[in-house]
Amino acid sequence: MSQPNDLKNVGLKATLPRLRILNLFETSEVRHLAAEDVYRILLAEGVDVGLATVYRVLTQFEAAGLLVRHHFESGKAIFELNQGRHHDHLVCLQCGMVEEFYDAEIERRQEQIAKERGFRIQEHSLYLYADCLKTDCPHKT
């Protein structure tokens, strides 16, 4: 369960909306959530929160390094808990399920390519859009 100190450590007051949002990312089995998802889930949990607050808090959490923001094809921003380990994403185009992966060789080549061309990488995102081929494709977003 997220503690008030988790927030104070990054310089944010421990308010109810912030605690609930952080807690949601820490406990939900679905790791990738859009602002609208967070808003809907909190309302369902009986938390009287505004959508604008959700957006503000998500942005603050991203700035504080608690969350990572992704831009998949959907057009809406997707957030996930920042657990330190960089990774890439496989996104099922049929059911929206997101699976994570990490490949050291791909990371190495990226560094190499950037260096060759005189760039300094700030961040990078590899999205594989695919069909997951599960018999039922059950992971509805």
The 12-51 contact track toward DNA, x by CB under 7 A, reads: xxxxxxx---------------xxx-----------xxxx
* Residue whose CB is less far from DNA, 95 or 114: 95
Cβ at position 91, least distance to DNA in Å: 16
Q: Using CA atoms, how far apart are residues 104 and 33, in angstroms rounded to an integer? A: 26
The length of the chain is 141
* Smallest separation (angstroms) from DNA to the CB of 9: 11
Contact region with DNA (CB under 7 A), list: 69-77, 82-90, 112-120, 129-137 = 69-77
- Would strands 77-81 and 33-34 be described as parallel, antiparallel, or unpaired? antiparallel
The strand pairing partners of 71, in sequence order, are 77
126 near 87, Cβ under 8 Å? no
CA 52, 55, 60 angle in degrees (round to 5)?
Answer: 125
CB closer to DNA out of 36 and 131: 36
Q: Is the dihedral of CA 126, 129, 130, 131 positive or negative?
A: positive
Which pair of structure tokens corresponds to residue 3?
Answer: 């503690």
- Residue 96 in contact with DNA, rule: CB under 7 A: no
Question: Which residue, 8 or 86, is less far from a copy of itself as judged by CB?
Answer: 86
Instruction: Determine whether the annotation assigns residue 88 to a binding site.
Output: yes
Q: Which residues are annotated as a binding site for Fe cation?
A: 86, 88, 107, 124
Q: Which residues are annotated as a binding site?
A: 86, 88, 92, 95, 107, 124, 132, 137
